[in-house]
Chains A and B, each alone.
Chain A
């Protein structure tokens, strides 16, 4: 029933039962229009949807128990004591805690596989394993009189444990000295030393002098070691190159000799 704009009656006007300005039109039909109209969005009828709503100062929402989980994407719904959200795939229980690994949920603090670690938790070293490389003697290839070429002194590839992949691998080259059987006896030689970890230069000493040692057996150390290795193996490579050409007095050539030690610390938390 359509709505008719209310009329304005004049003095002496006769009101009829039907027709324009009649009681049926102005009273009956307009009441019926108010009573029976749908919210179509047409002017005067209103709309069944609300747009651009901004809500503030709400003290709380109360969800009626639907006694079922939501199954329409984007729906937030209460089922008994649980509040669930349907993300298009599953109904996620927003009020449950410590759900299975891979399922988002609230977490209590603890140490199991489905709870969260406390902010003040501690890491303890589960164990330390030392490889059998402690104090192994290394002898490099030989440099002859006048040589300035780069050579590899030592290469060490060490497999690491990958489960869990938390290991610190420490390599130490120490007591580095230049050794010669030349008739001229001991003389100082100058080298550039480089330590690579998996092909990446991690430390370099330039102008290293075998005079850094005061006596054979007390050479300075080239201590460079790096950890938190997550690869299945780690390779250390120790290279050396004369910074100054090997002196003529070294008629039998020069080698670099040192000791290497390696340990692997396996860390569990």
Chain B
């Protein structure tokens, strides 16, 4: 598989945070330092870093993986790295 381009790397981060987890991102309490971060690299790996009250990293990873398994075209070609 060809290396991911800059547009693809930035695009997958934006899609996961701002579209797929838009609801979770919106309820982040910045005063408490909560976060929902993603990291993507040129080799097609994408990873979640989550600290949001009421959410767990594993739950969000499971939902993301399920979306990919169900054919979410935005996630095609990416490997979701779990267990951050």
Contacts and interface: CB of A to CB of B under 8 A. Distances in A.
Interface of A: 188, 190, 192, 200-212, 220, 224, 244
Interface in B23-59: 25, 30, 33-42, 49, 51
Contact of A206 (B5, B13, B33, B42): B13
B14 interface: yes
Contacts of A190: 30, 35
Contacts of A192: 13
Interface residues of B, number: 21
Contacts of A211: 33-35, 51
B10 interface: yes
A201 B13 CA distance: 13
Contacts, number: 68
A206 B41 contact: no
A46 to B, nearest CB: 63
B39 A188 contact: no
Nearest to B16: A206
Contacts of B38: 205-207
A206 B17 contact: yes
B69 interface: no
Contact of A224 (B6, B25, B37, B41): B41
